Amino acid sequence: MKKKDIPKKEKTQKITILEDELYDDHEIKEECLQLVVFRLANEWYGVEISRVREVIKVEGLTFLPSSPEYIAGIVNLRGNILSVTDLKNIFGLARHELTEQSRLVIVESGILETGLLVDEVIEIEEVPLSKIDPTLTTIAPEKAEYFEGECKIGDKLIGILKVEKAFMR
């Protein structure tokens, strides 16, 4: 009997995937936004952490004559003179005296930077993008332009600020 040439089958590799392997340890992590959360009067706000250079105690705040009302003054931060923006003035919130908890949140956008005067920095929160909503329509249009959106963390409703607006007033 003569052997016939039978075409060789391509080598295939068997892969066994168990159902458990498909679902274990392969959680899809939702993209999140990290916020520096702070208080102004009785309201809560947040700034994307990538826009925050540092948070410092309010020291050496110098009043600047003839400056716009929303400029609380200037500070010398290691040789750099920074304007200090008073968000309470912009948002029409009641002003209070500076306290031990008052802070300057130094924010930057490109080459511009300013200090945001806040009553208290609370925490850094990680918020899933799916939990961020557009800004409420009940906010006056001239104020709404300062916000990227809002989110709820616990019992706090947090307005997420557009840092660029602090430079363009």
Mean pLDDT to the nearest integer, 150-164: 90
Tokens of 8: 């060789």
Mean pLDDT to the nearest integer, 110-119: 91
Residue 9 has pLDDT above 70, yes or no: no
**What is the structure's pLDDT at 97?**
87
Nearest-angstrom CA–CA distance, 25 and 13: 25
Residue 13 has pLDDT above 60, yes or no: yes
| Residue in 146, 142, 141 with CA at minimum distance from that of residue 160 | 146
Tokens of 93: 């919130």
Mean pLDDT to the nearest integer, 84-96: 90
Cβ-count burial of 139 within 10 angstroms (0-12 exposed, 13-18 middle, 19+ buried)? middle
Residue 143 has pLDDT above 70, yes or no: yes
Domains, in order of start, for the chain: 32-167 (2.40.50.180)
**What is the structure's pLDDT at 35?**
96
Tell me the pTM. Answer: 0.77
